[in-house]
Amino acid sequence: MNDRTCIVTGKAGSVDDMIRFVAGPDGTVVPDLKRNLPGRGCWVTARRDLVDKAVAKKLFRRGLKQEVSADLELGALVDHLIARRALGQLGLTRKAGGAVTGHAQVDKAVRSGMAIAVLHDPSAAADGVRKIDQARTFVRRMEGPDIPAFKSFAEGELDLALGAGNVIHAAILDGQPGRAALRHLVFLDHFRHSSAENDRSGGSSEKTAKDMTTE
């Protein structure tokens, strides 16, 4: 196996689509999202089901070539860390002027072609989400991009990330900060929702979002 072969699937992958794990000083398996922790590492394709499988089947012991202990909640920990990272990037994007909030501003950003993604708080009313979906559909029918929408965070977390109160809808604007934020959102969404079955069926919405980050 090469240095970036998933210990669960046995398939090699891009470093951007995998998560590195190392053994901590106490022999506990530690996720290394930044890929800079010292010591021997092993890799798992960035999917929650595969991290859970690696724990259940004790595959980290083989991958790290030593006795290690993997917490049964390792998948949940990785999810939390990826979400924190995505929220942090959203904060940086907001500071760089790469995000707008509020239904009217989001609708305007979508219809003008400035938005590359939209986000909704879990408390968002169905009617508000529907109207923004109509704007996304309008852009797509005008041969514009298929702008992805995310409900990735717990209620109120967008408020903290975007430095505003009662953020229900937000849009990420095109530009380097926004594209960095979108990459993290796509990574989180893929980690949570991708599975072997989804991979075989194509995962159209995730593929669209990922394509937008590499154009």
Sign of CA dihedral 125, 206, 146, 171: positive
Q: Determine the Cα–Cα distance for residues 122 and 128; give it in Å rounded to an integer.
A: 12
* Averaged confidence pLDDT in the chain: 90
* Coil/strand/helix, residue 123: coil
What is the value of pTM for the model shown? 0.87
Q: What percent of the chain has pLDDT over 90?
A: 84
Mean pLDDT in residue range 53-71: 96
What would the pLDDT profile of 72-108 be if each residue is shown by its tens digit? Answer: 999 999 999 999 999 999 999 999 999 999 999 999 9
CATH topology of domain 15-72: Hypothetical Cytosolic Protein; Chain: A; (3.30.1230)
**What token pair was written down for 118?**
């939209």
* Tokens 């999810």, located at residue: 79
What would the pLDDT profile of 111-143 be if each residue is shown by its tens digit? Answer: 999 999 999 999 999 999 999 999 999 999 999
Residue 120 is classified by DSSP as E
DSSP 201-213: H--HHHHHHHHHH
Question: Nearest Cα to 50, choosing from 186, 151, 154, 199?
Answer: 199
Where does CATH 3.30.1330.30 sit in the chain?
77-214
What would the pLDDT profile of 9-59 be if each residue is shown by its tens digit? Answer: 999 999 899 999 999 999 999 999 999 999 999 999 999 999 999 999 999
Instruction: Give the per-residue pLDDT at 164.
Output: 78
Give the list of residues 6+ apart from residue 107 with CB closer than 8 angstroms, or none: 131, 132, 135
DSSP 126-188: HHHHHHHHHHHHHHHHTT-----EE--S-TTHHHHHHT-SS--EEEEESSHHHHHHHHHHHHH
Question: Nearest Cα to 55, choosing from 41, 72, 67?
Answer: 72
Look up the CATH architecture of domain 77-214. 2-Layer Sandwich (3.30)
Mean pLDDT in residue range 199-205: 43
Where does CATH 3.30.1230.10 sit in the chain?
15-72
Instruction: Give the per-residue pLDDT at 209.
Output: 45
Instruction: Give the per-residue pLDDT at 84.
Output: 96
Contact 55, 68 (CB under 8 A): no
3-state SS string over 16-84? HHEEEEEECCCCEEEEECCCCCCCCEEEEECCHHHHHHHHHCCHHHHHHCCCCECCCCHHHHHHHHHHH
